[in-house]
């Protein structure tokens, strides 16, 4: 048996966060990827495996300070950075023929003034926003294949959109009254020192946050509006749960077509999709069944046969909600089989 020769030279900007290390874990196992550059301003010179011992024997690089020439020599560069970084650096890389995948929010929202209002800073590259392709493969696959710049979806938006989009596209629910009640593990807050994510604060605790408005709201609303063909009314409430990984979205919509076979609708929509698992009727997806996997599990319910449909959508926020989906997008951009390097089975228990 022959082993494929790595042919895609990859750079990762910002490899020290939870999303960054998950990206490195998956890229290190990708048979057609050669990791060339992993940057960190604060940890330049530190061997990657010293910070993340799970990568010992798999990643022998050290973090380096960002070097435009080294990044420009890559085929694709992933930005696993805070919001506001990729928009300043992506243009130069694109001009040199490098493909760019941004795991932050710099290019997700097409309305630049709206982005600026939610993210509290002027956009450095508004012209690139129009060029960027939103990287939700199940609904944007063809555009991603031809893209040079991909805006990787957020974690909440991935779970919510995959749950609502089949209903909106089929026109069987009222788009004006959607509710997304979502729960996330603490890793969704990032790898930084903040009081609310300390073990003594987040452990044995459960709370809602950002109820007046979360930055992912306009991203979700934009995607759902595009599928529905009209403005949607969405109430989105996120919660912090005492677990490390996972997002569980409980989605509510009012049926306008009570005769619709909702189970069949979802099964048809996601037939052949490698990373969406439509569970049997009556199922309840669990976040732990997705730990480490690039999969979204969905179950559809219609309580008491009424006019409310409840969709349960669960993902690993660091994989399908971030790094795994980014590699799915890379596979599409380079014409590879979509599951290459990201078809692993979830860890259980």
Instruction: Identify how many contiguous H helices and E strands the chain contains and give both numbers.
Output: 12, 13
According to the model, what pLDDT value does residue 190 have? Answer: 85
**Domain 155-317 is classified in which CATH homologous superfamily?**
Dihydrodipicolinate Reductase; domain 2 (3.30.360.10)
Q: Which residue has the tokens 């790094």?
A: 323
- Considering Cα of 57, then 58, then 64, then 70, what sign does the dihedral take? positive
> Please, which residues have CB within 8 angstroms of residue 276's CB and are 6 or more apart in sequence?
138, 162, 270, 295, 296, 298
Domain residue limits, the chain: 8-131, 155-317
Closest CA to 83 of 111, 121, 139, 37: 121
pLDDT in tens, 13-24: 999 999 999 999
Residue 197: is it exposed, middle or buried by C-beta count within 10 angstroms (0-12/13-18/19+)?
A: middle
What residues are labeled active site?
A: 155
Give the 3-state secondary structure of residue 10.
strand
Provide the H-helix boundaries in the chain. 18-28, 48-51, 68-72, 86-95, 112-119, 126-131, 137-145, 155-170, 199-202, 216-228, 262-269, 324-333
Closest CA to 87 of 118, 133, 123: 123
| DSSP-derived secondary structure letter, 62 | B
Closest CA to 11 of 74, 53, 57: 74
C-alpha distances out from residue 222 to 83, 243, 272, 281, Å: 19, 29, 26, 29
Q: Quick check: 286 and 299 in contact, CB under 8 A?
A: no
Q: Structure tokens of 86?
A: 């990729």
Fold of the domain spanning 8-131: Rossmann fold (3.40.50)
Per-residue pLDDT in tens (0 to 9) along the chain, 349 residues: 345 677 999 999 999 999 999 999 999 999 999 999 999 999 999 999 999 999 999 999 999 999 999 999 999 999 999 999 999 999 999 999 999 999 999 999 999 999 999 999 999 999 999 999 999 999 999 999 999 999 999 999 999 999 999 999 999 999 999 999 999 999 998 888 788 888 899 899 999 999 999 999 999 999 999 999 999 999 999 999 999 999 999 999 999 999 999 999 999 999 999 999 999 999 999 999 999 999 999 999 999 999 999 999 999 999 999 999 999 999 999 999 999 999 999 999 9
Q: CA 338, CA 315: separation in Å to the nearest integer?
A: 18
pLDDT in tens, 84-98: 999 999 999 999 999
C-alpha distances out from residue 321 to 12, 44, 77, 245, Å: 18, 27, 18, 10
Q: Quick check: 317 and 188 in contact, CB under 8 A?
A: yes
Q: CA 242, CA 244: separation in Å to the nearest integer?
A: 7
Q: CA 260, CA 123: separation in Å to the nearest integer?
A: 43
Residue 152: is it exposed, middle or buried by C-beta count within 10 angstroms (0-12/13-18/19+)?
A: buried
């Amino acid at each position: 048996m022959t082993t494929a020769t790595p042919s895609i030279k990859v750079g990762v900007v910002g490899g020290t966060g939870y999303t960054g290390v998950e990206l490195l874990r998956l890229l290190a196992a990708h048979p057609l990827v050669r990791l060339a550059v992993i940057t960190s301003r604060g940890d330049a010179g530190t061997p990657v495996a010293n910070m993340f011992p799970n990568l010992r024997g798999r990643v022998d690089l050290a973090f380096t300070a960002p070097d435009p020439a080294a990044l420009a020599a890559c085929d694709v560069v992933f930005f696993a950075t805070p919001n506001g970084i990729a928009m300043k650096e992506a243009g130069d890389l694109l001009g040199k023929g490098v493909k760019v995948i941004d795991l932050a929010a710099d290019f997700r929202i097409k309305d630049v003034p709206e982005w600026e209002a939610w993210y509290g800073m002027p956009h450095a590259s508004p012209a690139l926003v129009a060029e960027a392709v939103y990287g939700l493969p199940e609904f944007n696959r063809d555009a991603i294949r031809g893209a040079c710049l991909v805006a990787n979806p957020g974690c909440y938006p991935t779970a919510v959109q995959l749950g609502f989009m089949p209903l909106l596209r089929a026109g069987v629910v009222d788009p004006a009254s959607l509710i997304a009640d979502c729960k996330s593990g603490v890793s969704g807050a990032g790898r930084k020192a903040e009081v609310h994510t300390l073990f003594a604060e987040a452990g044995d605790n459960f709370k809602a946050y950002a109820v007046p408005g979360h930055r992912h709201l306009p991203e979700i609303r934009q995607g759902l509006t595009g599928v529905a063909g009209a403005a949607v009314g969405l109430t989105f409430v996120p919660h912090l749960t005492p677990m490390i990984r996972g997002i569980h979205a409980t989605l509510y919509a009012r049926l306008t077509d009570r005769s619709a076979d909702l189970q069949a609708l979802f099964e048809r929509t996601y037939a052949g999709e490698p990373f969406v698992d439509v569970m049997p009727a009556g199922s309840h997806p669990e976040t732990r069944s997705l730990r480490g996997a690039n999969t979204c599990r969905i179950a559809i319910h219609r309580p008491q046969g009424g006019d409310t449909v409840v969709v349960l959508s669960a993902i690993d926020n660091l994989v399908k909600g971030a790094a795994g989906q980014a590699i799915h997008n890379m596979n599409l951009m380079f014409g590879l089989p979509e599951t290459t390097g990201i078809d692993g089975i979830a860890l259980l228990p």
